[in-house]
Structure 1
Amino acid sequence: MVARLIDEDPEGAYGYSRVALRLASRVAAVREAAGFAAYANQKYGEALAEFRAARRMTGSVELWPVMADCERGLGRPEKALDMAGAPEVQKLDKAGQVEMRLVAAGARGDMGQLDAAIVTLQSPELASSSVQPWTARLRYAYAEALLAAGREREAREWFAKAVEADRDGSTDASDRLAELDGVAFVDALDETQEDSDGAKDDSGSAGEGDRD
């Protein structure tokens, strides 16, 4: 239920995770699920504690990047950067290493080191033309870093590249690209409601005039 609800109903997922913890707190998968549920609800201290517990049980480094991001959430970007340079990172698979790079760049940005954030994201994975599961998010983060540094033209180029790679809509790169191009989206339902309200007002005014 945590996995089913976490994207659409993070509070509900968190509630189920607390029940699971009461029933099976010594199961690593339960501690990990509880960590992600807390993370989704921005309860970063709680999430970090659960991830640490899961790591102690399994000995795996898989959760290292999200643990570092919890440090960011707790206002400790320096700690996140320390974790980005730790030996554990070398044990991560390619996806984990890319995730760690994203966290490190975010930490640099948190500290106001905008140029360093850009450099952190520059990597063979960013330069590659092949599309991997992490490609859209990596390109999006790079575009965000460029935009934060005032390099709007380059940011637009990378938001466009993120759109090309974002096959499942995991980012809002298309919206960001439209914003940079000055395109404004109008909700058709809102327009219909406004037209309907306007018609009612016009009808009401005419009726009052007839009565006069």
Structure 2
Amino acid sequence: MPIPDEVTGDEIDRSVRQELMSLPKTLAVDVARNLVMVARLLDEDAERAYGYSRAALRLASRVGAVREAAGFASYGVGKYAEALTEFRAAKRMTGSVHLWPIMADCERGIGRPERALAMAGEPEVRQLDKAGQVEMRLVAAGARRDMGQPEAAVVTLQSPELASSSVQPWTARLRYAYADALLAVGREEEAREWFAKAAEADQGGTTDASDRLAELDGLEFVDALDPDADVEDEDVDGDEEPRGQA
């Protein structure tokens, strides 16, 4: 696959560059450039990112960083069994457990929530940092819901991290998952409260908590500048107006 000339491979993290030092220099550069493309495209064009990851894998399948990148690219296109294989290989090569939560989520994707839940109780979880432990809790709650245990999912998400007023990178997603779990068991008022808390913490727009909150409040946001929109009370400044929805 073509790679833009301005991509040199120097853009990758230092730790990855160190892993690639085991390769001949020209090969290391080629692999690095493919990994840069994977990282750039993973969120915006998962199929192309997957293509570049396979190219890197053909060049250097014995490098842990390459197997990890291939895992994330496979995960991004829903190839969960393939992703799990790559993550297992990366873990074996590097000895790191940081991929444990996403490996468990791959088990969910394959249709094995029981295995994902079992992984949440294994010793590797204690080796994770706080972000990894929260991620593992989210995966475990998802597995509970997959297994038809929505009440257990609610309990799984109840934790010191959820109760904390401190806003961390995982806070919005954890609060959102809890709100969604509450809604699934019919606790709508509590769900509304937690969607509001999630929206408050979500400065980066990683969730649609605001939309879910508006939906619970029966609000629909209509663009007053849209000629096809049904706007009863148009704002003189042309701003979007929330309105009640029957």
Cα distance in 2, alignment partners of residues 66 and 172 from structure 1:
22
Partner of 1:83: 119
Deviation by residue 1:107-153 (Cα, 9 ceiling, x = unmatched): 00111111110000000000000000100000000001000111111
Q: How does 1:73-152 map to 2 (within 5 A)?
A: 73-152=109-188
Partner of 2:87: 51
Q: Which has the higher helix share?
A: 1
Partner of 1:171: 207
Cα distance in 2, alignment partners of residues 40 and 179 from structure 1:
28
TM-fit CA distance, 1:186:
3.2
- State the percentage of identical aligned residues: 81
Q: How does 1:2-21 map to 2 (within 5 A)?
A: 2-21=38-57
Equivalent position amino acid for 1:182 in 2:
G
Cα distance in 2, alignment partners of residues 184 and 75 from structure 1:
36
Residue correspondences, number: 193
The answer for unaligned runs of 5 or more in structure 2 is 1-36, 230-246
TM-fit CA distance, 1:183:
1.1
- The alignment's TM-score, normalised by the length of structure 2, stands at 0.77
Runs ≥4 residues deviating over 2 A: 185-189
Cα distance in 2, alignment partners of residues 32 and 96 from structure 1:
16
Say which SS state the counterpart of residue 185 (structure 1) adopts.
Answer: strand
The answer to whether the aligner puts 1:31 opposite 2:67 as a matched pair is: yes
Cα distance in 2, alignment partners of residues 12 and 146 from structure 1:
37
Cα distance in 1, alignment partners of residues 52 and 109 from structure 2:
23
- The alignment's TM-score, normalised by the length of structure 1, stands at 0.89
Partner of 1:159: 195
TM-fit CA distance, 1:185:
2.7
Say which SS state the counterpart of residue 194 (structure 2) adopts.
Answer: helix
TM-fit CA distance, 1:188:
5.8
Cα distance in 2, alignment partners of residues 162 and 50 from structure 1:
33
Equivalent position amino acid for 2:62 in 1:
R
Structure with larger Rg:
1
Partner of 1:198: none
Structure 1 residues 188 and 33: alpha-carbon distance in aligned structure 2, compared to 1, 3 A threshold: farther
Equivalent position amino acid for 1:23 in 2:
L
The answer for unaligned runs of 5 or more in structure 1 is 196-212
The answer to whether the aligner puts 1:69 opposite 2:119 as a matched pair is: no
Cα distance in 1, alignment partners of residues 142 and 188 from structure 2:
18
The answer to whether the aligner puts 1:180 opposite 2:216 as a matched pair is: yes
The answer to whether the aligner puts 1:22 opposite 2:52 as a matched pair is: no
